[in-house]
Amino acid sequence: MGYSGNATTPTAAAAATSAAEKSSPTSSTSSLFSTSTTTTTTPPSHTVILSPCAACKILRRRCVEKCVLAPYFPPTEPLKFTIAHRVFGASNIIKLLQDLEEDQRADAVNSMVYEANARLRDPIYGCTGAICQLQKQISELQAELAKAQAEIFNIQCQNSNLSDIICRKMAEEQNVQEKLQQVQVAPYDNHENSIFFFDESVLGVDWEPLWT
């Protein structure tokens, strides 16, 4: 009796479970819907990938969080570090940046890159050759400017002298015209006097007093 009761109990439980599942299909559907809903609503986990800076990538080393080179050599500008590294070397660049203040490091990096470019174009003189060439051009332009200013001064002097000459000529011409006018008036008066005396001589009459 005890064995038969133990054997029939699991069978009865399984039958009851299957009957309950058949009798309530909505419960199984709701459970599936709930699981599918939970899986779709959970947002996927985003993994942030930090790319190393151009300097660490070229040097093939790990880029730490507080890398000295990262702010000035971003991953999008690898050529910038390549040029500076070829001329100065990575250790010298790092040492120089560590010795400077943070507000001066950007200018220092730009200066190093500019000088490295000049050194690659002109391995002997570098940026000094460009500076000398610019100074030569400045000297030539200053000489041309001084020459032009001297020519302008000479032209101004010539214009002033010419105006003085013209004024003197005009004054002389005016004086000459005044003298000519005076000369033309004076002979006319002398001519009248001479005619008057000529008439007296031609008459030849001794004027006798009208009364004795």
pLDDT band at 139; cut points 50, 70, 90 = very high
* 197 lies in some domain: no
- For the cut 50, the answer to whether the pLDDT of residue 175 exceeds it is yes
* 23 lies in some domain: no
75-118 tens-digit pLDDT = 998 999 999 999 999 999 999 999 999 899 999 999 999 999 99
The predicted model gives 35-61 an average pLDDT of 61
* 89 lies in some domain: yes
* 31 lies in some domain: no
Output the average pLDDT for the chain: 74
* 111 lies in some domain: yes
Range of the domain at 109: 54-121
The predicted model gives 135-150 an average pLDDT of 96
Overall domain count for the chain: 1
* 155 lies in some domain: no
More confident site: 208 or 90: 90
More confident site: 84 or 32: 84
- For the cut 70, the answer to whether the pLDDT of residue 201 exceeds it is no
Q: What is the 3-state secondary structure (H, E, C) of the chain?
A: CHHHHHHHHHHHHHHHHHHHHHHCHHHHHHHHHHHHHHHHHCCCCCCCCCCCCHHHHHHCCCCCCCCCCCCCCCCCCHHHHHHHHHHCCHHHHHHHHHHCCHHHHHHHHHHHHHHHHHHHHCCCCCHHHHHHHHHHHHHHHHHHHHHHHHHHHHHHHHHHHHHHHHHHHHHHHHHHHHHHHHHHHHHHHHHHHHHHHHHHHHHCCCCCCCCC
Residue-level pLDDT at 112:
93
* 18 lies in some domain: no
The predicted model gives 18-31 an average pLDDT of 46
